[in-house]
Structure 1
């Protein structure tokens, strides 16, 4: 995803209450049935102001090309209103990001790419920025690693 400097309070005339911004690329096999349940959970997080979806895109890797998919064209089972997500287009996901995501997909598979702000952390992050603190590292711990450690500690 495009790297951007997070403005500090001294960079602008207004306070910036921006939480950490992350992205996910989720691969779906060619025979996946889109029932909308994952989007319903994402919508719930948005409605509770836990996250803010900044950008959401869908791509499919064909034999020789990566093709964008409009969310309205997804064959979703059920009655999920995708309007909230159709409007999530900040421009943070560019063509190069779509191509990069497509390269990691298996042929015939599709992916959802979501860029989201962790709204729950915005006040905490803003308070830290006001003190001059800055985030110097972040990362994810694989679920398998967490489960393995927890299982080991239970013994």
Structure 2
């Protein structure tokens, strides 16, 4: 990637989606939803890994190209950067429960690239970002509803 291309890069995020034993399906509805985001120009996939954590805690990491049946994800395989290093894998796998499988997705937020680039040209730099888990939002809404019912 050239320096001008780096200047135009949008924010890059990652997610890790964990599945209980026997329930990991990366090529069905999940793959279709991911490809819809790519096709709409919302995100650009940078890397995808599949992590398997055995009951004893040992971890195996597979790149998309190492999987047997990619299904519709086959069209992403040639474009991936294989960005994550062994230390990254160890850090991500630490959050997994033993006996589970997880998909790791690293993606550029194309929808925010113009804003991010303009902020950098203006001398700004991103100093913090974060996500609020949906479970926390639901818990907050439920707590507010309970407080309203108690107060009523």
Structure-1-length-normalised TM-score: 0.77
Contact 1:16 1:126 in 2 (8 A): yes
- Which residue in the other structure is 2:21 paired with? 30
Bigger mean CA deviation after superposition, 83-92 or 46-55: 83-92
Residue in 1 that maps onto 2:60: 67
Shift in Å, 1:119: 0.2
> C-alpha deviations, 1:86-106, integer Å up to 9, x for none?
235313211221222223222
Do structure 1's residue 141 and structure 2's residue 135 form an aligned pair?
Answer: no
Looking at structure 1, the residues matched to 67 and 5 of structure 2 have their Cα atoms a distance apart, in angstroms, of 39
1:56 and 1:85 in contact (8 A); partners too: no
1:42 paired with 2:34, answer yes
C-alpha RMSD of the superposition: 2.7
Shift of 1:24: 0.8
Q: Distance in 2 between matches of 1:15 and 1:105?
A: 32
1:53 aligns with 2:45: yes
- TM-score, normalized by length of structure 2? 0.78
Q: After the TM superposition, which parts of structure 1 deviate over 4 Å for at least 4 consecutive aligned residues?
A: 12-15
Cα 1:148–1:30 shift into 2, 3 Å: closer
Q: In structure 1, how many angstroms separate the alpha carbons of the residues matched to 2:103 and 2:137?
A: 25
CA–CA separation in structure 2 for the residues paired with 1:95 and 1:103: 12
1:66 and 1:114 map into 2 onto residues whose CA distance is 17
Residue 13 of structure 2 aligns to a residue whose secondary structure is strand
The CA distance in 1 between the partners of 2:139 and 2:51, in whole Å, is 33
Larger helix proportion, structure 1 or 2? 2
Q: Please, which runs of 5 or more residues in structure 1 have no aligned partner?
A: 1-11
- Aligned residue pairs total 142
